[in-house]
A and B are shown apart, each in its own frame.
Chain A
């Protein structure tokens, strides 16, 4: 009941926006721009012929692969860069230069290297999500409080134990923040990445609906679905933040 009360204002805002949208389309008698209802019927169409699930599945697969590879790459690298000063000094400038380059700028190179298929969008998603995770993980190691490292030194534990029971868990909250940002960015670029995808994915759905017959109802349906799934993915990452081993960092 409390949840409903809290989200009521948002629901009202959404309802008002949809209402205004509807009114403007009706008032302008637009032949191309759909009403909210047309978006709903367009979506039902996609649900019935099963293509919606295919598109969602394809996008999730690509984001899962690109983001997954980025996690496997960024976390060890970030921990290493955080712990070993030489690694940080050497690699940080390189990543700082690569980081501001939009993943979209990588499209020609992705096509050149990986061709038109699944590998290219996966690569673009990887590029988009890997840098925030490296940066957050490195920063996480750098901000471990000295008193904890001292305590570990005081007890004279092995390097393995120092890493597994101090450095990694101390960094984990920041790693999760990095993963949340990384997954958000990955999902954000899925549309751009799927401009070069072959006949599947929500990005492809949007581009294709526009190109093949001005189906703007499906364009908007695709956009809304991307938004909703993005919200869901963020919710999953938030669950990680509620784990007991990381709560100390987010509390108060």
Chain B
């Protein structure tokens, strides 16, 4: 039996980005290069304010870099599209639509089984029975589930997750991480996760990129070779955590 090595899904080549006005000239990203393989889960960690969100917006197509190019399947990516869905900390589930209507939102009107698909994905994330509820009737965790379901139902190839669980309390965040792993074990996607939480990155990712302080460059890259379900208390995971924190400039009592 032979398996083809996974192909390159996303290519980031020589990305630079700065913000200029009369008062400031702020270089945010300084020459980033990396690749993400098909089906790979890559986490990007870095100090706050280092340009992680700017990078994510460029990768998802919402922001144009000053130089460089982002490719998806080898082709330059310009505009956002449903092949890659962005999930942010704030979330963007439409509060004026029910859960079901939110799930239907991204599905083409002509699609024959769109109704069944919406129900299926609501059930997949554990929102069966809440299809007709409005977002303000849901808890923070349920809202995240709805957001993930709305992203997955359009069958994206890539999920761009920008601090998706940071607004949740620690326990709910952990639950949602496990939930995400469960869903990804059913449906494999290429995932890019931005987080400031090193443990979250170790829990979820296949590979972790550490960004430098602004202007952002890739400072280090770590493979996370542990099988799921992962035990963060294992010596190997702890060693990795210490190594990553060291790259981030945190030493001592970790």
Pairing of A with B: yes
CA distance A157 to B106 in the complex (A): 7
CB contacts between A and B, total, < 8 Å = 59
Residue A155 contacts which of B97, B101, B105 (CB distance < 8 angstroms)? B105
**Which chain B residue has the least Cβ–Cβ distance from A172?**
B96
Query: Interface centre among A153, A154, A247, by most B CB within 10 Å?
Result: A154
Query: Which A154-212 residues sit within 8 Å CB-CB of chain B?
Result: 154-157, 161, 165-166, 169-170, 172
* Complex contact A155–B88 (CB within 8 A): no
Task: Say yes or no for A151: interface residue by CB 8 A criterion.
Answer: yes
Residues of B within 8 A of A157 (CB): 105-106
Residue A154 contacts which of B81, B90, B97, B101 (CB distance < 8 angstroms)? B81
* Complex contact B105–A248 (CB within 8 A): no
Residue B96 contacts which of A147, A153, A161, A169 (CB distance < 8 angstroms)? A169
Number of B residues near A (Cβ < 8 Å) is 23
With A165-B105, A166-B94 as contacts: A150 and B86 at CB distance below 8 Å: yes
Residues of B within 8 A of A147 (CB): 88, 90-92
Task: Say yes or no for B80: interface residue by CB 8 A criterion.
Answer: yes
Residue A150 contacts which of B62, B101, B109, B154 (CB distance < 8 angstroms)? B62
* Complex contact A170–B96 (CB within 8 A): yes
Task: Say yes or no for A240: interface residue by CB 8 A criterion.
Answer: no
Contact with B along A230-252 (1 / 0, CB 8 A): 00000000000000111111010
Residue B80 contacts which of A148, A153, A161 (CB distance < 8 angstroms)? A153
A246 → B minimal CB distance (Å):
7
Number of A residues near B (Cβ < 8 Å) is 23
Task: Say yes or no for B36: interface residue by CB 8 A criterion.
Answer: no
With A155-B106, A165-B97 as contacts: A248 and B90 at CB distance below 8 Å: no
Contact with A along B124-136 (1 / 0, CB 8 A): 0000000000111
A127 → B minimal CB distance (Å):
31
A131 → B minimal CB distance (Å):
26
Residues of B within 8 A of A169 (CB): 94, 96-97
Residue A156 contacts which of B62, B82, B86, B97 (CB distance < 8 angstroms)? B82
Residues of B within 8 A of A165 (CB): 94, 97, 101, 105
Task: Say yes or no for B60: interface residue by CB 8 A criterion.
Answer: yes
**Which chain B residue has the least Cβ–Cβ distance from A249?**
B95
CA distance A121 to B31 in the complex (A): 68
**Which chain B residue has the least Cβ–Cβ distance from A158?**
B109
* Complex contact A150–B94 (CB within 8 A): no
**Which chain B residue has the least Cβ–Cβ distance from A173?**
B96
Contact with B along A132-164 (1 / 0, CB 8 A): 000000000000000110111111110001000
Q: A248-B96, A251-B136 are in contact. List 17 more A-B contacts (CB 8 A).
A: A147-B88, A147-B91, A150-B80, A151-B92, A152-B105, A154-B82, A154-B85, A156-B81, A157-B105, A157-B106, A161-B105, A170-B94, A244-B134, A246-B96, A247-B134, A247-B136, A248-B134
Could you write out 29 A-B pairs with CB less than 8 Å apart? Answer: A147-B90, A147-B91, A147-B92, A148-B92, A148-B94, A150-B62, A150-B92, A151-B86, A153-B80, A154-B82, A154-B85, A154-B86, A155-B82, A155-B154, A156-B81, A156-B106, A157-B105, A161-B109, A165-B94, A165-B101, A165-B105, A166-B94, A170-B94, A244-B134, A245-B134, A246-B96, A247-B136, A248-B96, A248-B136
Closest 9 pairs (CB-CB, A-B)? A248-B95, A155-B106, A151-B92, A169-B96, A147-B92, A248-B136, A154-B80, A156-B82, A245-B96
